[in-house]
Amino acid sequence: MTYTGFHGGGDHVIKAGATANFLTFDINKANNDTPQFFYDDTVNAGQSNCGCAGPLAYNYRVPYQVQFATGDPLVNAHNAQIGAFLQDDWSPSSRLTLNLGIRWDFETHMFNYDYVTPDTVRNVFRQYNNDPTFLPAPIDTAEYFTDGTQRHKFYGAYQPRLGFSYALDNENKTTLFGGWGLYYDRSFFDVSVDEKLKLRRPLWTVYFADPDSAVRPGQVRWDGRYLTNPAALDSLVTTGQTGGKEVWLIGNHTKAPHSGQWNVGVRHAFGDVSVSAAYVGVRGYDGFVLYWANITWKNFGTPTSQCCTFLGNQHGFSNIIVSSNAVKTWYDALQVQIVRPYKRVGNWGWGGGLTFTSGQRSVQGNDNADDELAFPQPQFIVKHPTNDEKSRVVANWIVDLPFAYGIQFSGLMTLGSGPRYDVGGRFSPNSWVPGGFSPPQYPFIIPGAWAYRDVDLTLTKDFPQFGRGTLSVRVDVFNVFNFQNFTYGGTPTPTGLLSDGRRVQIGTDFSF
């Protein structure tokens, strides 16, 4: 709904709206329904669960491990998503516009509000929560256990939005602009499904003994029937040779992740060309993550710091996974844009755009901002730069060529500094340098400036009087210069390719 009849203190464009979605989910999470067998030449002690010094020479003769899931994979759930917004685009003068708004969102089943912690879980923790051979530190059962009434729906997702634009001259050629907004992220639904399924449909791991060694505790002698007979694998579950189940415990006071996002910049019109530069900032709070309560770090923060002490895999449970809102994120960037909208003058027409972004993202409490699991625990992952690409240039253009039978020439060019890579790993913190390796840079337009280069070109010819419609014939050439864009593992030796080689595609479109 839009209303323009109010003029108090200037012109107003008032917008309001609401949405409601009533959803039913029939979910089939039959993950790992097909057993996955792992083979290798040489296997270390951890991979084979041998409790020995290792390594062991399996020589691909038998698998050293299999993973498979059993149990009912079906989940039925209902969720209503409700949203509403109100915004006033207020122009107190011809040169100033203020955007004042607020948005509200709500979900009836954002996560398992009515979930009841099973007695099988309660009984184990009642007996072993304070046992240091089971958990390095006891968990707060008042926070992680629920009888179906401890979790409360979140009604507070009010998200104010403020923006402005101010023309520095009467012709509106130069404009200052900016904005700020609060945003909530609703990401719990899939996790709430797993909270149920991890116990009802567990993922089992079976370790097979080296053919030349005795079967050790926690291992099984290989039998060829396991490869072809599901009942043979299922028998390992019923006889207790698969280890325990994984239990996920979601906090009753879990918060919805939110972020403050803002920008401020200036834009100037040079005829038909608009040029803008802006600073963009984001601060994220209460990021949701899951971690291992049965694993802890050795001597964290000391010169002898190293990962890790593994406990658990007792009393029917392999891992104890609990939730946290410990993740924080930071993002700062400069964005420059040059845009000329497509415009025809006589038989000619052209348009194009260029965007340059240079930014830095950091995260605390997780390896990457989008990871669902933090190993082993968020407090052991200090603030560090993510391995995002720091700088990127994207250019696009479209040009009419009337001298070439009306062919239209367009293209897309992407150039980037490439993602950075860690030197070492945080499990050996004394030698870990986050983002310490930058990939080799190669020339294109600017010497030695880019780790990622890609140029796509398109030629299009329209036949507007083709029957009752318009026929278009186009030729696309992707990665026209056949650039090789590599991935790396923290050393100058490439480990793979990010992009495909050059390819040509011919197609037609018909519109009427």
Predicted local confidence at residue 465, as pLDDT: 73
For residue 17, the SS3 value is strand
Q: Are 344 and 274 in contact (CB under 8 A)?
A: no
d(CA 143, CA 132) in angstroms, rounded, equals 20
Predicted local confidence at residue 87, as pLDDT: 98
Predicted local confidence at residue 424, as pLDDT: 77
d(CA 37, CA 24) in angstroms, rounded, equals 35
The angle formed by the CA atoms of residues 62, 67 and 71, to the nearest 5 degrees, is: 140
Predicted local confidence at residue 15, as pLDDT: 97
Domain residue ranges of the chain, discontinuous segments joined by +: 2-386, 390-512
Predicted local confidence at residue 115, as pLDDT: 93
| First-to-last C-alpha distance (Å) of the chain | 33
For residue 114, the SS3 value is coil
d(CA 393, CA 266) in angstroms, rounded, equals 19
Low-confidence ranges of the chain (pLDDT < 70): 466
pLDDT in tens, 431-467: 778 778 889 999 999 998 999 999 999 999 888 776 7
Q: Quick one: how many helices (H) and strands (E) in the chain?
A: 5, 31
Predicted local confidence at residue 376, as pLDDT: 87
The angle formed by the CA atoms of residues 458, 460 and 461, to the nearest 5 degrees, is: 160
Residue spans of beta strands (DSSP E) within 62-142: 65-69, 74-91, 96-107
Could you say which DSSP state residue 53 is in? S
- Amino acid identity at 396: N
For residue 349, the SS3 value is strand
Predicted local confidence at residue 56, as pLDDT: 86
d(CA 458, CA 408) in angstroms, rounded, equals 8
Beta strands 74-91 and 96-107 are antiparallel
DSSP bridge partners of 338: 275, 354
Predicted local confidence at residue 344, as pLDDT: 83
Residue 280's closest CA among 217, 349, 335? 335
List CB contacts of 216: < 8 A, sequence separation 6 or more: 49, 50, 51, 52, 209
- Count CB-CB contacts under 10 A for residue 77: 15
**pTM (2 d.p.):** 0.86
Whether the link from the prior residue into 55 is cis, omega within 30° of 0, is: yes
pLDDT in tens, 461-472: 888 776 777 888
List CB contacts of 161: < 8 A, sequence separation 6 or more: 87, 99, 100, 101, 102, 103, 179, 180, 181, 182
279 exposure class (CB count in 10 Å sphere: 0-12, 13-18, 19+): middle
Q: What H or E segment, with its residue span, contains residue 232?
A: helix 230-238
